[in-house]
Amino acid sequence: MSSDNFVDYVKIHCTSGNGGAGSTHFRREKYIPKGGPDGGDGGRGGHVILRGNKQLWTLLHLKYTKHIKASHGIRGSGNLKTGAQGTDVYIEVPIGTVVRDSESNEILFEINEDKEEKILLKGGKGGLGNNHFKSPTNQSPKYAQPGEQGLEEWKILELKILADIGLVGFPNAGKSTLLSVITDAKPEIADYPFTTLRPNLGIVKYRDYRSFVVADIPGIIEGASKGKGLGYRFLRHIERNSILLFLISSESEDYLKEYQILLKELENYNPDLLLKDRVIAITKADLLEDEKRKECAISLKKYPHLFISSVTQEGLTELKDALWKKLNTDGEIN
């Protein structure tokens, strides 16, 4: 999926409908010149509702739709007739969409299923008609309730992408290059940090016409779980990946330390991420001399790992095999 068309973050302004006013009406008929109050209630204002849609993979359709507004409820009328409700507005979103309050950044809810509906903003209640206010001491109330005002708020929608494999690593670990080699994806690639500013998805074609989906997640830096760098903007995507592929560059000064930093950032963000299956690959293996390769193997001796090169294709077949095996068996967590 083109990164230009992949939108995983939007901020929208939502307004729910006002409730309709209650009616101040009295029954008047040919032989009943002084009937009692019969004002109906006002209709409720329209809700703003989020609805999951499994056919959507991005929030692109909301990128230029900044204002979403439901209609108002209708005033009540005589003969105890309740006014019509305001029309609800439905916002279709992909599965895995998270809603945050724009001021507190608090997570309000998440859409996890197709056709799941949750009210983003409730419409105002309709006002009560004067029929509700009659009493033995006030048999002709000449007042009714106004409708309740709707709500007007900014909301943040974020998308957690769904993929079989999530690439995890520091900037310049070779994630985008690997994705471009093993899939048909065309991510931007350059020799500077944070080339990838949003996730890229690619499909790996495996044996016997089988396949799996890989997501290139923007690079982690130390302190990301506290919002440093791209912070939460990419960590949330890892939550919906089945397996995490940790990529450590052969140019790293300390392989084990780099792996442990990556693990710590994931743990600080969400400890459940450490329960996912993991695979470790040392990238840019074509740059490694035999002595350096041995040092790497010793450093990571407790953690099974592979050496790969997107340039020479070294280890890529073995990597695909390892990932497919993890996807289809209960592997041990490293």
Helix (H) or strand (E) holding 200: strand 200-205
Structure confidence at residue 33 (pLDDT)? 74
pLDDT above 50: residue 193: no
Which sign, positive or negative, has the C-alpha torsion 287, 291, 297, 298?
negative
196, 185 Cβ separation under 8 angstroms: no
Task: Determine the angle formed by the axes of helices 175-182 and 316-328, rounding to 10 degrees.
Answer: 90
The tokens for 306 are 């592979």
pLDDT tens column, 271-317: 998 999 999 999 999 998 888 888 888 888 889 999 999 999 999 99
What homologous superfamily does CATH list for 163-328?
A: P-loop containing nucleotide triphosphate hydrolases (3.40.50.300)
The tokens for 232 are 């939460």
| Degrees, nearest 5: CA angle 291-292-296 | 120
> Minimal CA–CA distance to 82: which of 48, 131, 118?
131
Structure confidence at residue 220 (pLDDT)? 67
Give the CA distances from residue 35 to residues 96, 130, 266, in Å, rounded to whole numbers and listed in that order: 57, 13, 71
pLDDT above 70: residue 63: yes
Residue with tokens 């070294």: 314
Q: Residue ranges per domain, the chain? A: 1-159, 163-328
Instruction: Please give the Cα distance from 172 to 249 (Å, whole number).
Output: 8
Q: Report the mean per-residue pLDDT for the chain.
A: 86
What homologous superfamily does CATH list for 1-159?
A: GTP1/OBG domain (2.70.210.12)
> Minimal CA–CA distance to 119: which of 45, 55, 59, 188?
45
Instruction: Please give the Cα distance from 115 to 94 (Å, whole number).
Output: 10
pLDDT above 50: residue 195: no
pLDDT tens column, 118-174: 999 999 999 999 999 999 889 889 999 999 999 999 999 998 877 899 998 888 788
Farthest CA pair distance, the chain: 108
